[in-house]
Amino acid sequence: MPGLRRALLAFVLAAVAFAVVALSARDANAHPWMIRHGYSACQTCHYDPSGAGILTSYGHVIETLVLPTGPDDQSEEDKAGFLLNAVKLPEWLALDGDARALWLRTKVPGAKITDELILMQADAQAGIQTGKFVAAGSVGYAQRGALGAAITRDVENNVVSRQHWLGYSLASDRLLLRFGRMNLPFGIRTVEHNLWVRARSRTTINDDQQYGLSAFFSTETWRAEVMAIIGNFQLRPDDYRERGYSGYAEWMATPKLGLGVSSLVTHRDRDTVTLKETWRQTHGAFARWATGWDPLVVQTEWDYVLVSSKDEFHRKGLVSFTQADLEPVKGLHLLATAELSNVGTQKRYWGYGGWLSFWWFFMPHADVRLDAIYQSQGAVGGRFDTLTFLLQGHVSL
CA distance 226 to 182: 12
Instruction: Give CA torsion, residues 257, 261, 264, 265, to 10 deg.
Output: 180
Q: How would you classify the pairing of strands 158-160 and 366-379?
A: unpaired
Taking residues 130-157, what's their average pLDDT? 91
Spatial contact of 298 and 322, defined as CB atoms under 8 Å apart:
yes
Backbone angles phi and psi of 34, in degrees to 5: -65, -5
Q: Please, what is the average pLDDT of the chain?
A: 86
Residues 6+ apart with CB under 8 A from 26: 55, 60, 63, 96, 97, 98, 365, 396
What confidence tens digit (pLDDT) does each residue in 96-119 have? 877 888 898 888 877 888 888 888
- Cβ–Cβ contacts within 10 Å for residue 179, how many? 15
Q: What superfamily does domain 2-395 belong to in CATH? A: Porin (2.40.160.10)
User: What is the structure's pLDDT at 320?
Assistant: 97
* Range scoring the smallest mean pLDDT among 189-198, 240-249, 317-326: 189-198
**Would residue 110 be called left, alpha or beta, if left means φ above 0 and alpha means ψ between -120 and 50 degrees?**
left
Spatial contact of 276 and 296, defined as CB atoms under 8 Å apart:
no
User: What is the structure's pLDDT at 143?
Assistant: 86
b/e sequence 4-17, b meaning 16+ C-beta within 10 Å: eebeeebeebbeeb
CA distance 17 to 159: 9
Q: How would you classify the pairing of strands 243-254 and 257-268?
A: antiparallel
pTM for this prediction:
0.87
More confident residue, 384 or 359: 359
Instruction: Determine what percent of the chain is predicted with pLDDT higher than 90.
Output: 54
Pick from 392, 314, 306, 303: which is nearest to 339 by CA?
Answer: 303
CA distance 341 to 349: 8
Pick from 111, 54, 53, 109: which is nearest to 82 by CA?
Answer: 54
CA distance 265 to 343: 17
User: What is the structure's pLDDT at 62?
Assistant: 77
Pick from 252, 244, 313: which is nearest to 280 by CA?
Answer: 244
Q: What pLDDT band is residue 22 in, cutting at 50, 70 and 90?
A: very low
Task: Identify the top-confidence range among 38-47, 140-149, 293-302.
Answer: 293-302
User: What is the structure's pLDDT at 58?
Assistant: 76
More confident residue, 329 or 64: 329
Sequence ranges of the domains in the chain: 2-395
Taking residues 129-143, what's their average pLDDT? 93
User: What is the structure's pLDDT at 19?
Assistant: 38
What confidence tens digit (pLDDT) does each residue in 62-100 have? 777 788 887 765 555 555 666 666 677 888 998 887 788
User: What is the structure's pLDDT at 60?
Assistant: 74
On the CB side of 50, CA atoms within 13 Å amount to: 30
Residue 53 has pLDDT above 70, yes or no: yes
SS3 7: helix
CA distance 183 to 175: 17
